[in-house]
Amino acid sequence: AQKITQTQPGMFVQEKEAVTLDCTYDTSDPSYGLFWYKQPSSGEMIFLIYQGSYDQQNATEGRYSLNFQKARKSANLVISASQLGDSAMYFCAMREGTTGGFKTIFGAGTRLFVKA
Amino acid sequence: NAGVTQTPKFRILKIGQSMTLQCTQDMNHNYMYWYRQDPGMGLKLIYYSVGAGITDKGEVPNGYNVSRSTTEDFPLRLELAAPSQTSVYFCASSQRYLSSYNEQFFGPGTRLTVL
């Protein structure tokens, strides 16, 4: 069964430092996509980064990178040079590409606090 | 493009009442989704649709119904509202193929309270 796990309910990081948010997943579908979203206190969902199961390289988008370890079924988000505006909830999500019917499910989220 | 729009933004229901949450997207996306987000929690998939006339249950479908008569619209129906359905409801849409360009686009959410 499709499953996403985020084990860190909350994380603190000092401004300008890097932080890693953990995400593990479980699927039997060989084709899947992994997404990270940011949800600030205003409530909207902001797409950050995507990793496909067949992608050979780890995805990067500006200060965001995804540490994709397929054998371990993990897709951790790394935020470099944290900023105060990074304080938010972060959600990992997975969409199965074939057997799962393309539905997308989310993890429970990690709340990140950036300290000045 | 307006993206994904949801109405209403806020609603208070009494126990046992019914209502429909509206969702419309203008990006010609095949896939549409309904999620609920309880306070301090992640998003739970209620129903999703891979195209007009095709819907399927997600993780928490009980107490809800959906229909997809057009590509653009994906309304969520609550019958006999219960306090457990107090939540923020998000509608989302995406294209079919898995790629870095096909993330889900979310609506602004509907905050529903059942008293």
Of B41, B104, B108, the CB nearest to A104: B104
Q: Which residues pair with A68 in a beta bridge?
A: A75
Query: Does residue A80 contact residue A48 with C-beta atoms inside 8 Å?
Result: no
Ranked by mean pLDDT, which of A23-32, B50-59, B66-75 comes out on top? Answer: B66-75
pLDDT at B39 exceeding the cut of 90? no
Cβ distance A93 to A45 under 8 Å? Answer: no
Reply yes or no: is the peptide bond before residue B8 cis, omega within 30 of 0: yes
Q: Choose the weakest-confidence range: A91-95, B46-50, B93-97.
A: B93-97
pLDDT confidence tier of residue B85, bands split at 50, 70 and 90: very high
With 80 as the cut, is the pLDDT of residue B1 above it?
A: no
What pLDDT, on a 0 to 100 scale, did the predictor assign at position B97? 61
- pLDDT reported for residue A57: 92
Query: Tokens at residue A103, please?
Result: 């539905």
Q: What is the mean pLDDT of residues B87-112?
A: 84
- What is the spatial distance between Cα A47 and Cα B97, in angstroms, rounded to a whole number? 16
A51 pLDDT exceeds 80? yes
A1 to chain B: nearest residue by CA?
B59
Q: Are the CB atoms for B55 and B97 separated by under 8 Å? A: no
Nearest to A103 among B58, B90, B105 (CB): B58
**For residue B98, is pLDDT > 80?**
no
The pLDDT score that the predictor gives to residue A49 is 93
Would the CB atoms of B103 and A35 count as touching at under 8 Å? yes
Does the pLDDT at position B22 exceed 80? Answer: yes
As given in the structure block, the two tokens for residue A45 are 């969902």
Do A47 and B96 lie within an 8 Å CB cutoff?
no
The answer to whether the Cβ–Cβ distance between A35 and B58 falls below 8 Å is no
Say what the pLDDT of residue A98 is.
65
What is the overall mean pLDDT for chain B?
91
Q: What's the token pair of residue B18?
A: 């019914």
pLDDT of residue B115: 94
Choose, out of B103, B104, B105, B110, the residue to mutate when testing the contact with A (most A CBs < 10 Å).
B103
pLDDT at residue A30 is higher than 90: no
DSSP annotation of B73 reads B
Q: What percent of chain B has pLDDT over 90?
A: 77
